[in-house]
Amino acid sequence: MNIFQDANRKQIADRRRTDWLLHILFVVATSIGVIALCALIIDILIDGISRLQPDLFTNFPSRKADGSGMKSALVGTIYMLLIMAPVSFIFGVGAAIYLEEYAKKGRFTRLIQLNISTLAGVPSIVYGILGLALFVRLLALDRSLIAGALTMTLLVLPIIIVSAQEAIRAVPKSRRDASFALGATKWQTVSRSVMPSALPGVLTGVILAMSRAIGETAPLVMIGALTYVAFLPNGITDSFTVIPIQVYNWLSKPQLEFKELAASGIIVLLVLLLLMNFSAILLRNKYQKNV
């Protein structure tokens, strides 16, 4: 007896063809994204590679393209990170701990939660407007490094809160129970049991949020940081510039040389982003091994 005799060959062939067609479609869909990204990177590399000289990092921007650099922008970006990272870590993780561990799970908490999730998707320029009103005007910080960093902190805070909450939520309940059953208080449980387990996930979120912030331009343009800065900030109330702003400045000039400078600035930014995302991946892998 042939157990295959009742197979419907035509129907099977049709199914196989559908499968094959969709396979092709998915490959094409993926390729479009990858090709676009490659084209972008190659284009920028062609434009900018010749300007990737020591001058770029050691010189200030100037009116002449030759010998023009982005020292002030690079340092500005790093200073901004140095302020933003601890401030957003403290407030972001603090809020996440409160919402996950302390807040009563009532209607009010749900409302806050909804708000935070929504804020994570608000266009960045809106944060610029808020920063302008709050830090530049009300607190009279002017368009200073601190005003810029705080505006950016507001921008990344919802992202950090949401990702930290996820990391905290991922810590098994049994680990909290073990701690409480030994007579730990809430804070002891959070600080000694929950946070050590959640920290790699929290840090990953913080790094990814930072890498979003250093590429942002709109909020800084909004608070008036779109200026020509040919010096390093001496304190947090000095004016400053950052890499994307410097790129924007160069792009707005008509000469070709400045376009090349802009491209090299983008390369530096991309490398920085890549490094940050890479370290986030390293952290995540280490975390997965430990748990």
Which residues make up the interface to other proteins (CB under 8 A)?
A: 104-105, 172, 174-175, 177-185, 188, 192-193, 196-197, 290-291
- Measured distance CA(210)–CA(218) in Å, rounded: 15
Distance of closest approach, residue 223 Cβ to other proteins, in angstroms: 43
Min dist CB 23 to other proteins, Å, is 41
Q: How far is the CB of 105 from other proteins (least distance, A)?
A: 7
Residue with tokens 């407007």: 129
Q: Which of 140, 132, 158 is nearest to 218 (CA)?
A: 132
Nearer to other proteins, 30 or 188 (CB): 188
CA atoms lying within 13 Å on the CB side of residue 258: 14
Closer of 143 and 176 to other proteins (Cβ): 176
Least spacing, CB of residue 139 vs other proteins, in Å: 40
Please return the burial class of 11, using the count of CB atoms within 10 Å of its CB with bins 0-12, 13-18 and 19+.
Answer: exposed
Q: How far is the CB of 162 from other proteins (least distance, A)?
A: 23
Nearer to other proteins, 66 or 177 (CB): 177
Nearer to other proteins, 182 or 275 (CB): 182
Is the Cβ of residue 193 or residue 211 nearer to other proteins in the bound state?
193
Shorter beta-carbon distance to other proteins: residue 52 or 199: 199
- Complex with other proteins: residue 186 or 259, whichever CB lies closer: 186
Secondary structure in 3-state letters for 197-219: HHHHHHHHHHHHHHHHHCCCCHH
Paired strand residues for 144? 239
Cβ 101 to other proteins shortest distance, Å? 11
Please, what is the minimum distance in Å from the beta carbon of residue 204 to other proteins? 17
